[in-house]
Amino acid sequence: MKKLSAIAVCLFLAFLLIPQAPAQDQKTILHQISDAQAGIYERVGPSVVRLITSRAHPDIDAMKDNPMAPFLDPKNWEGTPFEFYFQGPDGEKKIHRFDNRKGQDDSENENEDEGQSEGKSPFHVNGIGSGIVYKVDSDAAWIVTNNHVIGDAERLDIEFKDVNPITEFDLISDPGDPKRNAFLDKKSDLAVIRLSKDVLGDRQLVAVPLGDSDALKVGEIVFTLGSPLNREQTFSQGILSAKDRSGVFPDQSDKEIRYEGFLQTTAFINVGNSGGPLLNVDGEVVGIDVAIQTAGGFSNGFVGIGFAIPSNRVKEVVGSLMDKGKVVRGYLGVLIGQPSISSAQYFNLPPKSGAEVVEVYQETPAEKGGLKKKDIILSFNGTPVHGTTHFQEMVARAPVNQTAKVEVLRSGQKVQLDVPVEEQPEQPVARVSGGEGMIPELGATLKGPDEEEARYYKDAGNFEGVIVSEVDPEGPLARKIPKGALITAIEKTKVTSVDQVKELLEKIIDAKSGRRDILVMVNFVPNSSENAEEFVIVKLERPKGK
């Protein structure tokens, strides 16, 4: 009887202890996870930098005839979230003088006389970004960031977690300059900064390891670390929510060569995170943060969709920039798109396979090799093509000045082609044309923005199009679209060159017969106070002889 009582007591005690054991285990696991995450930050934090960029602007008074002057005047930004970008890096409300001839900064109080120094700008524009210490050797340290962070910058402050900052570092990106220290690649949106031993001094930097982005799986835990919204080191967690994302930059021209195929994450990415790392649970860099998707407008910020450049592409691009000073890529000269659902079904193509030729540009390797519009590219050098991004990457990696084996589906028949691969042009096909031309149908002269004007419109909100340089006072645009406005679309088709406008108007006139009313989308920045595009109805004139 006593034996049975003892057994009962033991069972009762065991029953009491059962709920406590899992709770203790869960607490231990949570501590382990928390400690592991904190450990990633402690290891990687010293290798992540904050970049404060500076770029000089022309004197506002000297730009009185420039339509962008109101947009560039720092007084118009006072009290807005963007006020910082027209101040000094220390945040004080002062105007910086930048001597473009000597490259020297002579900061002065904004109340002092600003109009006496010929050739000097009364202010500069600041920017914020992030970067990683990519490599450290006996001669230099290399910082990797985005091209859009430093591409237009002239001067840079580099802030570290544990060592003193490098201030007023002059960026030199000219390939012909022996003192070159900035290496840019717009097509991938990557850039490398070389810090010589003299610049580093006694600073001891440690490179952060790169991981294999191809090995990532959707759903994995990832982290971001950078300087969002001008905040110093900020660490956040999320998951990898998708891979191979394209269409991130919807405003880009069809003819511009850009490389997307980005990683998508829910980890926090905001303005200022650009150039910072996307990390895996091992603390390895698996991506470089590059962009965010918002619900609309700058103020909305993070909404759970951020994008990063895969680390395997970073390795290729950065390695080439460091070794050769540029990236050598293969080039065919075609515009490609994903085969339509109907085409895929008709030809029994597997999902997300092949790449359809939308356009073959003249006098390019593609034209020489026999590629034709509507061809569906099935394989490249024996490797099956899995979508447009995959094909673009394969062509970029292909050896130049050699022939590639390309299999296409043409009118239902497989065709084998030998297509030469040439070196991709240094500059992407221009998004805007510098040409100018009279458009009789509109009674106006249009021109493509020059480099400076294009940059201003980009700063205003990534607007692209053609500028109205002259308006016939009796023509269709009179009293509707003023001189200096930017025409961005006609009948909902984006336009980026004068020739494109001419071709589009010819097609509209042929299709509409007697009806001449068309919708023209115009951006009036900076001719109005609003940064917005709107449609204007224009009645075309009938060109003589038609």
pLDDT tens column, 507-536:
777 665 554 567 676 766 554 445 556 767
Q: How confident is the model at residue 51 (pLDDT cuts 50, 70, 90)?
A: very high
In a domain, 544, yes or no: no
pLDDT on residue 17: 52
In a domain, 524, yes or no: yes
- pTM tops 0.95, yes or no: no
* CA–CA gap between residue 421 and residue 330 (Å, rounded): 6
Q: Residue 457: is its pLDDT beyond 90?
A: no
In the chain, what percentage of residues exceed pLDDT 70? 71
pLDDT on residue 117: 44
Q: Which residue is catalytic, options 47, 121, 274, 433?
A: 274
Boundaries of domain holding 97: 58-110+118-122
Query: Are both 401 and 466 inside the same structural domain?
Result: no
Q: Please indicate whether residue 379 is annotated as part of the active site.
A: no
Query: Are both 468 and 514 inside the same structural domain?
Result: yes
In a domain, 228, yes or no: yes
pLDDT on residue 336: 87
Query: Are both 217 and 312 inside the same structural domain?
Result: yes
Query: Are both 371 and 289 inside the same structural domain?
Result: no
* CA–CA gap between residue 277 and residue 225 (Å, rounded): 6
Query: Are both 270 and 240 inside the same structural domain?
Result: yes
| 311, 291 Cβ separation under 8 angstroms | no
Q: Is 150 exposed, middle or buried (0-12, 13-18, 19+ CB in 10 A)?
A: buried
In a domain, 8, yes or no: no
Domain boundary among 373, 393, 423: 423
Q: Which residues pair with 54 in a beta bridge?
A: 126, 155
Q: How confident is the model at residue 320 (pLDDT cuts 50, 70, 90)?
A: very high
Q: Which residue is catalytic, options 59, 189, 289, 375?
A: 189
pLDDT on residue 255: 54
Query: Are both 258 and 312 inside the same structural domain?
Result: yes
* CA–CA gap between residue 126 and residue 491 (Å, rounded): 37
Domain of 270: which CATH number? 2.40.10.10
In a domain, 404, yes or no: yes
Query: Are both 245 and 303 inside the same structural domain?
Result: yes
pLDDT on residue 206: 95
In the chain, what percentage of residues exceed pLDDT 90? 40
> Which of the pair, 21 or 48, is modelled with greater confidence?
48
The number of distinct structural domains making up the chain is 4
Domain of 454: which CATH number? 2.30.42.10
pLDDT on residue 529: 44
Query: Are both 415 and 477 inside the same structural domain?
Result: no
Q: How confident is the model at residue 449 (pLDDT cuts 50, 70, 90)?
A: confident
Q: Please indicate whether residue 274 is annotated as part of the active site.
A: yes
Query: Are both 220 and 306 inside the same structural domain?
Result: yes
Domain boundary among 280, 303, 324: 324
User: Between helices 2-17 and 20-44, what is the axis angle to 10°?
Assistant: 30
Which sign does the torsion angle of CA 344, 348, 351, 357 carry?
negative
pLDDT, tens digit, 9 for 90 and up, residues 332-371? 988 888 887 777 888 888 887 899 998 888 788 999 999 9
Q: Choose the weakest-confidence range: 48-57, 63-72, 379-388, 408-417.
A: 63-72
CA 68 from chain centre, in angstroms, equals 23
In a domain, 458, yes or no: yes
Query: Are both 346 and 280 inside the same structural domain?
Result: no
* CA–CA gap between residue 235 and residue 40 (Å, rounded): 10
Question: Within the chain, how many helices (H) and strands (E) appear?
Answer: 11, 30
In a domain, 507, yes or no: yes
Query: Are both 219 and 309 inside the same structural domain?
Result: yes
Tokens at 438, concatenated:
């009279």
In a domain, 152, yes or no: no
- Candidates 312, 237, 311, 295; CA nearest to 269 is 237
Domain boundary among 71, 99, 122: 122
Query: Are both 379 and 469 inside the same structural domain?
Result: no
pLDDT on residue 504: 79
Q: Please indicate whether residue 105 is annotated as part of the active site.
A: no
Q: Which residue is catalytic, options 57, 96, 148, 390?
A: 148
